Structure 1
Amino acid sequence: MNHRTLKRSILAGMALCAASSMALAQDAAPDAAQIQRGKQAFQVCLACHSVTKGQQGIGPSLAGIYGTKAGEVAGYRFSGPMKRSGLTWDAATLDKFIANPQAVVPGTRMPFSGMPDANERKDLIAYLSTLK
């Protein structure tokens, strides 16, 4: 193995390790401080969404939403685009949707223009994941 090939192999290995570490960090359970920050970030959402199961507002209740299919909250009338989206509300999907709902589900009735701050979204998603 020549020097250039060895160097590329080492760099590729380092990149793989970094990616693996990031994936593990994303899967780590949120801590209390992150959940509290997420609860604060959720204040923007309270105008339309409840965290009480079965209590619908302008938008659906978000109690237990994490891990479910989009458009399947009982008792809420979803838009056609949301029902047909095929999305599952996991961390990655929620992150994209909260950043820009219309880009992810064109035609959604959600009037929210998005949350641009990635850290705020991460905290909000941590909080949503605790709502059972």
Structure 2
Amino acid sequence: MNSFELNKIFGAVLGVLLFVVGMSVLSDMLFTPEPAGVAGYALPMPEGVETEVAEAAPAEEPLPVLLASADVGRGEAAVRKCASCHSFDQGGANGVGPNLYDVVGGPKAHLDNFGYSGALAERGAAGEVWGYDELYGFLANPRQYLPGTSMAFAGIRSGQERADIITYLASITENPPPLPEAAAAEPGAETDAAAAQ
């Protein structure tokens, strides 16, 4: 066999392999397999056998309690993750989000020189304000708290971190509303107070 014949054989084998791989890729693009269902079936529990109930996540402290233990320094450190979109200085420029100086207790959509989302502008026009509870809910999950907001932020899971941020925002507010009292939010505080009288 001469080299020309070998080249033809190798070329044919390579062509067939290339065709098979190409067809495999093409068929994967055209046909998406359906996910398999649940394997097996659920077995009924015999009567009289107690099942363990998963413990619920521990209840979060009420906001007044969290605010009472909040720290302005921790809040200032925590807002660094917000600094790419917001400024916090008096008279600071707006970024992707509005300047947040003097926001606590102020109206939602508090700046005239910022283009708020329609949902937030409507709430501001209706006279809603950024109280402690409102900020706490918004920081937890902006899109769930205010459907239609253009704020693309997943939220802050830690209640204590949200309270720290709110305390920092209150510290850069000229006349912040008074903090809610912790005793009023603690369960059983009213009954304890009544029993003491």
TM range (shorter): 0.7 to 0.9
Does the 8 Å CA contact 2:104/2:131 hold for their aligned counterparts?
yes
CA distance in 2, matches of 1:98, 1:27: 14
What's the Cα RMSD here?
A: 2.0
**What are the within-5 Å matches in structure 2 for residues 88-103 of structure 1?**
88-103=129-144
> Does the C-alpha gap of structure 1 residues 114 and 26 become closer, same or farther in structure 2, counting only changes over 3 Å?
closer
> Does the C-alpha gap of structure 1 residues 91 and 24 become closer, same or farther in structure 2, counting only changes over 3 Å?
closer
Q: Give the C-alpha shift of residue 26 in structure 1.
A: 6.2
TM-score (norm 1): 0.73
Read off the aligned partner of 2:78 and give its amino acid letter.
A
Equivalent residue, structure 2, for 1:111: 152
Q: Give the C-alpha shift of residue 27 in structure 1.
A: 6.9
Equivalent residue, structure 1, for 2:109: 71
> Does the C-alpha gap of structure 1 residues 53 and 100 become closer, same or farther in structure 2, counting only changes over 3 Å?
same
Give the secondary structure class of the aligned counterpart of 1:129. Answer: helix
Q: Which has the larger radius of gyration?
A: 2
Deviations 1:96-118 (A, max 9, x none): 00000001111111111100100
CA distance in 2, matches of 1:24, 1:95: 11
**1:46 lines up with 2:94 in the alignment:** no
Runs of 4 or more, structure 1, over 4 Å off, are: 22-28
The counterpart of 2:120, out of the listed 82, 99, 110, is 82
CA distance in 1, matches of 2:63, 2:151: 30
Deviations 1:18-67 (A, max 9, x none): xxxx7865675x77xx0000001101110100012331111000000010
Sequence identity percentage: 31
TM-score (norm 2): 0.50
Bigger proportion of residues as helix:
1
CA distance in 2, matches of 1:39, 1:116: 17
**What are the within-5 Å matches in structure 2 for residues 12-51 of structure 1?**
25=65, 34-51=71-88
CA distance in 2, matches of 1:23, 1:116: 14
